[in-house]
Structure formats: C-alpha cells, structure tokens
C-alpha cells in the first residue's frame, strides 16, 4: 500500500468503526496480503483459483461469519465488521476472487440465515460459514435481467409435498462450483411478484446442471448458467414462506447493494493509487509540466469524488445498522460508487497511455473488473428508478 492509501484507510468514521473493528481490519488485511494477493497474477493468467482451499482458509479466518451468531460458527452478528471485511477483500488484486468470497458471504447463506428454518441453518449455514460448502444465489434469468418479478423459472407441486423446478438462471456468481443454490422460482405464475418462492437445491440433484460462463472481467470467478429440467426437490427445500420470495429478495437486496458500494469505493481508491504511482514514476523521467498539471487536476477530482462516495456509502450503512429504512440511500450509494469505480478505472487507464492497454499492467484488469458494477445487483438505471419513485414520482 502506498503512503497515501495508508492514510486514507486510516480515516476514522465516528460512530461506525470501533477499536475492535480496527483490530479485525488489520487481521483481515494481513490475511489477504499473505494468502491471496501474492497469487493474483498467477490466478488471473490461469483464469481460475484453488477455490476449495481458499474458501476453507477464509472460513477459518472468519471471512464468512461476521453476520452470524456463534452457534452457527459466526462471530457476530456485526454488520459493520462484515462491511469492513468486504472492503479488505478488494485488496486481493483479483476481482473474481473477491467476488466469489463476497457472494458466498453476502448472498445465499444470508438468505438461509434470515429466512430459513433451524434445520436448514444447521444443514446449510454452518458448513457455509466454515467455508466447507460453497453457495450461490440464483435469481437472474436470460430474459429477465434486473426484473425479478419477470422471472420464468417454475416450481410446481408434486406428490409427497415436493416440488419440480424448470427454468434457466444466468450470470450466477459461484454458480458452476456451488454445493447448494438458493433459487427463485414462480410458484404462482399468474401472481407476478406475489407468486415467487425460494428453494434450496443441492448440486448433484437430478435435473440440475451448471456450466461456467466466459466473462470480460472477473476472470477468476466461476460465474455460471444453471439449468433446471424437471429438477425435483423435497418439501423442506422451500426457503421462507411460500409466495413470499419477492419480499425476501427485496429485503436482502439492500445488503447486497451496500456491499457492492463498499467494494466499489475501495476498488476505486486502489485504482487511483495505481494511477498516482504511475504518475510519480513518469514524473521522475522529466515529462512536460503541463501534462502533470492535467494529471494533478484529474486526480484531485477523482480523489474528491471517492471521498464523497465513501461518505454516502457509510451514511447508508449507518442507517442499515440502525435498522432504519435505507432503500433510497443504498440505491444512491450503489449507483454512484459503482459508476465512479468504472470512471476512475477509465481515467487511470488513460493516464497510462498505451501501457494501460497492455495485459502486463494491472490497471487494465481494474478497468475490466469495474465495468460489471453498474450492471450487477440491479443496474444503474434500476437504482435511479428506485430513487425517483421514493420521491413519489
């Protein structure tokens, strides 16, 4: 970390992070630097990482347990601790690895914790927190995108109280390596958003298959397409209340989006540091003064915007932690932070000139990885629509 980044990371946030949080942040940061960061380039070139090994070690360190009680293997519940873990995972240097760990931390298992029965928590949450079983959340579909109410995957009742699932999910982080998947399906097709339910489907279940997708960024992520062809699951696979899946998804979207904002702000700052470091190197070669005036002004703009995005994101986080309605603030933070991360990456690549377009320079990876932010977890357009509707428009 550069001196400027070290100062930035140390900025205290009154009423949010405690001394215990600072200690936890140091533990997580040291683990990321030791276990993940040194392998980033190798894993990126391979387009893969030893996910079983990494997930198990992450479980031992406590990456997945901050939101959960000790009886489930957790160290919480502490949403602030979980938020800082999100920020520190960005430092691993490989967006796909951070996404894989983050999706497991914040999506499927969190649904099991919030909406599952005690039996489901024992069966799925405990091994997920330990990093022994990997989970994915399957909501997005090829024809629905950000429109959750428009999903077409069906779940029909069968004899014995079970269910038969049919449909396709896509862009599912960890989808092709998951041991179990939380799936959204229509149980009352004519009821729109009021006819969606959630199910837990285990890998290896007959009629369930998954394949990995090839993406521009997040090259180490096992993002997959999932197909359910007459996939039969027992009655106890239902997660939460029947027909209440849309509400469960909306409730959890706030956490999914705030962690995306947190990660985006941290990534934007890391990318800015790449640009600053490169600028210092070029300045040492005596480049024209006018060029550095332009660079200084660009960097000043970006640094200021990052601070503003961080403040908004922490404001939304405070409201969530306090149990207040934060839908508007979370939506603002998500679109602002993810769009800013992409903007910073684009500016940083421009500063690198032709070198920025070379695969050997990490700024190109930041550029590719950042582009997904304004799309995933609800697009920027969806976020703006939510904000606009919050004003009664």
Please compute, for residue 37, the number of CA atoms within 13 A of its CA located in the half-sphere on the CB side: 13
256 is catalytic: yes
Q: What distance in Å separates the CA atoms of residue 347 and residue 147, rounded to the nearest whole number?
A: 32
What is the residue extent of each domain of the chain? Answer: 3-129, 135-243, 248-389
Question: CA–CA separation, 250 vs 177, rounded Å?
Answer: 25
Q: Indicate the class that CATH gives domain 3-129.
A: mainly alpha
Q: Are 207 and 172 in contact (CB under 8 A)?
A: no
CATH of domain 135-243: 2.40.110.10
DSSP, collapsed to helix, strand or coil, labels residue 217 as coil
Task: Pick the catalytic residue from 256, 329, 339, 347.
Answer: 256
Fold of 248-389: Butyryl-CoA Dehydrogenase, subunit A; domain 3 (1.20.140)
User: Per residue, what are the HEC states of 120-183?
Assistant: HHHHHHHHHHCCCCCEEEECCCCCCCCCHHHCCCEEEECHHHCEEEEEEEEEECCCCCCCEEEE
pTM, two decimal places: 0.91
For residue 8, give every residue at least 6 positions away whose Cβ sits within 8 Å of its Cβ, in sequence order, or none.
269
Q: What is the pLDDT along the chain (393 residues), one digit of tens a residue?
A: 333 333 334 344 557 999 999 999 999 999 999 999 999 999 999 999 999 999 999 999 999 999 999 999 999 899 999 999 999 999 999 999 999 999 999 999 999 999 999 999 999 999 999 999 999 999 999 977 667 888 999 999 998 889 999 999 999 999 999 999 999 999 998 888 899 999 999 999 999 999 999 999 999 999 999 999 999 999 999 999 999 999 999 989 999 999 999 999 999 999 999 999 888 877 666 555 446 778 888 999 999 999 999 999 999 999 999 999 999 999 999 999 999 999 999 999 998 888 888 888 889 999 999 999 999 998 999 999 999 999 998
201, β-bridge pairs: 181
């Amino acid at each position: 970390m550069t001196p400027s980044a070290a100062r930035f990371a140390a900025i205290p946030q009154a009423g949010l992070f405690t001394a215990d949080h600072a200690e936890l942040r140091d533990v997580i940061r040291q683990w990321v630097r030791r276990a993940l960061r040194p392998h980033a380039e190798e894993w990126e070139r391979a387009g893969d990482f030893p996910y079983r090994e990494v997930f198990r070690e992450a479980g031992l360190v406590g990456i997945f347990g901050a939101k959960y009680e000790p009886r489930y293997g957790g160290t919480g519940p502490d949403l602030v601790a979980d938020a800082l873990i999100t920020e520190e995972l960005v430092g691993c240097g490989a967006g796909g690895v951070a996404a894989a760990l983050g999706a497991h931390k914040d999506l499927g298992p969190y649904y099991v914790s919030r909406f599952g029965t005690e039996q489901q928590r024992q069966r799925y949450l405990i091994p997920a927190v330990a990093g022994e079983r990997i989970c994915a959340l399957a909501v997005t579909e090829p024809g629905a995108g950000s429109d959750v109410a428009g999903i077409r995957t069906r779940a029909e009742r069968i004899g014995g109280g079970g269910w038969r699932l049919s449909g396709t999910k896509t862009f599912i982080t960890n989808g092709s390596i998951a041991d179990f998947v939380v799936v959204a399906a229509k149980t009352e097709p004519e009821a729109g958003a009021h006819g969606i339910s959630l199910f837990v489907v285990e890998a290896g279940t007959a009629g369930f298959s998954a394949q990995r997708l090839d993406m521009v960024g997040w090259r180490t992520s096992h993002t997959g397409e999932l197909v359910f062809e007459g996939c039969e699951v027992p009655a106890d696979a239902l997660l939460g209340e029947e027909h209440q899946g849309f509400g469960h998804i909306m409730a959890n979207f706030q956490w999914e989006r705030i962690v995306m904002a947190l990660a985006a702000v941290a990534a934007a700052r890391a990318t800015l540091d790449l640009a600053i470091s490169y600028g210092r190197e070029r300045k040492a070669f005596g480049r024209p003064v006018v060029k550095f005036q332009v660079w200084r002004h660009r960097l000043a703009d970006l640094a200021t915007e990052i601070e503003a995005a961080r403040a908004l994101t922490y404001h939304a986080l405070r409201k969530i932690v306090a149990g207040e309605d934060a839908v508007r603030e979370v939506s603002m933070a998500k679109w602002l932070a993810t769009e800013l991360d992409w903007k910073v990456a684009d500016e940083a690549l421009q500063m690198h000139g032709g070198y920025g377009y070379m695969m050997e320079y990490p700024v190109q990876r930041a550029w590719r990885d950042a582009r997904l932010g304004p799309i995933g977890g609800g697009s920027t357009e969806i976020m703006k629509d939510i904000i606009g509707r919050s004003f009664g428009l």
